[in-house]
Structure 1
Amino acid sequence: MIRGIRGATTVTQDDADEILSRTAELLLQMAEQNAVQPDDIASILFTLSPDLRATFPAEAARKIGWKYVPVICARELDVPHGLPKTVRVLMHAESNRSPREIRHVYLEGAVVLREDLVAEEPQRG
C-alpha cells in the first residue's frame, strides 16, 4: 500500500545551506520514524513558503543519497496567515502501516501546523 507521510520544518533565514540541512534532517526523520527505505519511496513533493527561494529543497534528497527517488518542488500558497520560512514535504511510500500508524514529522517552528499529530502517539496493531 502506498501511504502519504507528511512533514514540515522551518528555517531562520532564506539560506541555501540551512534549507538543505533542515530538509535533510526532516527527510531522514520521516523515513526512520516510518521504517521507510529509499527503495520504498514512490515520490516526494516539496513546497516552500513564498519567502524562501535560495535553493530547491529537493536537492537535500540527493545530498543524502536518494538518487533514484522522484522529487519535485512547488510554491506553497501565499495566504495571509501562512507560516513563514517553511519547507513542507509529502512523501509517498510503500508501507504496511495503517494511516493511523503513520508518523508525520513536524520540526522546529512547524510543530504549530499540526500539533494534533505531533502530540499523538502512534497506535500500533
Structure 2
Amino acid sequence: VIIGSGIGGIGTFEKQHKILCEKGPGRVSPFFVPMMISNISAGEIAIKIGAKGPNGVITTACASSTHALGIALKLLQRGDAKIIISGGTEAAISPMALAGFCKMRALSTQNDHPRSAS
C-alpha cells in the first residue's frame, strides 16, 4: 500500500493544540500523534485488507498522489510486489490550512461558479 498525502492530520493538530492551550498538556489525547501522522492511512488500509509487503506514505505536497503512483509502479517493475494499492488522500480543510492557502493565493476566488473554479 503506497499512499500520497500532502500534509497529514492538520485538523487533528489544530484540535489538540487548542486543548493544549486551553486545558493543559494533561488533556491532550494519547492518540494525538498516531491520529496526526500521515503514514497511518497506508497502515490502516493494509490492516483492513490484510496486505503484507511494501507500505508507506509519500508526502511531497501537491505532487504526493502522483509520486505515490510512480513509486508503486517502480515497486511492481522491480518485482518487490505483485500487487500494489496506491492513490492519495487529503483533508486539509481546517482554519489554519485554509488561512495558509489563502495567504499563498492558492485557492480559487471564483466562488460563485464552483464548476469553473479549477
State the TM-score, normalized to the length of structure 1: 0.28
State the TM-score, normalized to the length of structure 2: 0.29
Q: Which one has a bigger Cα radius of gyration?
A: 2
| Bigger fraction of residues in helix | 2
